[in-house]
């Protein structure tokens, strides 16, 4: 699958599945991820210490994996977006957008690179291209590019209807940790205010026919919001999933060891990763 095919699946009403890569760095992970049944991965560069070389090598591996690689850039800035796409990403996730101007900059870089400056602003504002040949060329060059905008605060939700007037946004991302902090209820994902905020995002996005990603860290939360309409599923991360796997499987082995007199082993607990 490539970025264009992922978009086509969404437009046809399908559900796509992916995870966040916060820790994996070695390109060999691309081959491993291809066996997990994922449609896409989001390679984080907002909170994870990855350099440009690391991302480029990682993307080269994913481009042969059949899993669509999307890069979460550090900020909604055209410079970071074009770097990720030039390195081989099939899409970008621009975090913490709150204004129409930020959304325009993100879309301009994600959908119409390498055009810049006044001419790309004419495309975004007026749909005016230098020529039909330029339009066709840029559409083909950016065919795989997926543009995801992060809505992660109360002001962003209040402005979401205006933000979605910008043509070219393929999906809306919500970071639950950031949003819950903005709402004044940190990490309270069963709080009525948090649930109301997500339902408002779903309502507005549905009106614009734009899918949503809610980046939850538990199966219960992910399936709850899948049932409510978040069909672009972004679940957990590589670090948290590995933590849970070791906790569950070694927990069972260690329980037997304790029965055989090997000593008690404490539960390692939940992952404390926040991403």
Domain architecture of the chain: domains with CATH: 3-239 (3.20.20.60)
- d(CA 220, CA 274) in angstroms, rounded, equals 18
What pLDDT is stored for residue 81 in this prediction? Answer: 98
Instruction: Look up residue 120 and give its two tokens.
Output: 């790309």
Q: Which residues are catalytic?
A: 47
pLDDT digits (tens, 9 = 90+) for 5-21: 999 999 999 999 999 99
pLDDT-derived band at 274 (thresholds 50, 70, 90) equals confident
- Residue 29 pLDDT > 90: no
Instruction: Look up residue 45 and give its two tokens.
Output: 């560069």
Peptide bond into 114 cis (omega under 30): yes
- Mean pLDDT of the residues in the chain: 94
Q: What is the mean pLDDT of residues 247-259?
A: 89
- Residue 266 pLDDT > 80: no
For the chain, what percentages of helix, strand and coil (3-state, to nearest 5) are there?
A: 50, 15, 40
pTM of the model: 0.94
pLDDT-derived band at 273 (thresholds 50, 70, 90) equals confident
pLDDT digits (tens, 9 = 90+) for 161-181: 999 999 999 999 999 999 999
- d(CA 26, CA 128) in angstroms, rounded, equals 43
What pLDDT is stored for residue 272 in this prediction? Answer: 81
Q: What is the mean pLDDT of residues 117-121?
A: 96
């Amino acid at each position: 699958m490539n970025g264009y095919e992922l978009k086509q699946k969404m437009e046809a009403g399908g559900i796509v599945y992916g995870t966040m890569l916060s820790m994996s760095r070695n390109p060999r992970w691309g081959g491993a991820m291809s066996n997990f049944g994922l449609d896409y991965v989001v390679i984080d560069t907002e909170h994870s210490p990855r350099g440009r070389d690391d991302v480029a090598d990682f993307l080269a591996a994913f481009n042969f994996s059949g899993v669509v690689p999307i890069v979460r850039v550090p900020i909604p800035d055209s410079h970071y977006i074009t770097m990720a796409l030039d390195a081989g990403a099939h899409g970008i996730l621009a975090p913490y957008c709150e204004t129409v101007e930020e959304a325009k900059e993100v879309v301009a870089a994600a959908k119409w690179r390498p055009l810049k400056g006044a001419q790309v602003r004419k495309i975004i504002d007026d749909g005016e291209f230098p020529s039909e040949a330029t339009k066709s060329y840029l559409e083909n060059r950016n065919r795989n590019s997926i543009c995801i905008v992060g809505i992660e605060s109360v002001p962003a939700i209040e402005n979401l209807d205006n933000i979605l007037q910008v043509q070219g946004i393929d999906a809306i991302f919500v970071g639950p940790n950031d949003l819950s902090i903005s709402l004044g209820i940190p990490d309270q994902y069963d709080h009525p205010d948090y649930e109301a905020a997500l339902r408002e995002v779903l309502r507005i996005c549905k009106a614009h026919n734009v899918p949503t990603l809610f980046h939850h860290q538990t199966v219960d939360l992910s399936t709850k919001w899948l049932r409510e309409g978040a069909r672009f599923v972004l679940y957990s991360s590589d670090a948290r999933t590995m933590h849970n796997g070791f906790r569950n499987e070694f927990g069972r082995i260690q329980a037997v060891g304790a029965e055989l007199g090997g000593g008690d082993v404490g539960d390692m607990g939940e992952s404390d990763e926040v991403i």
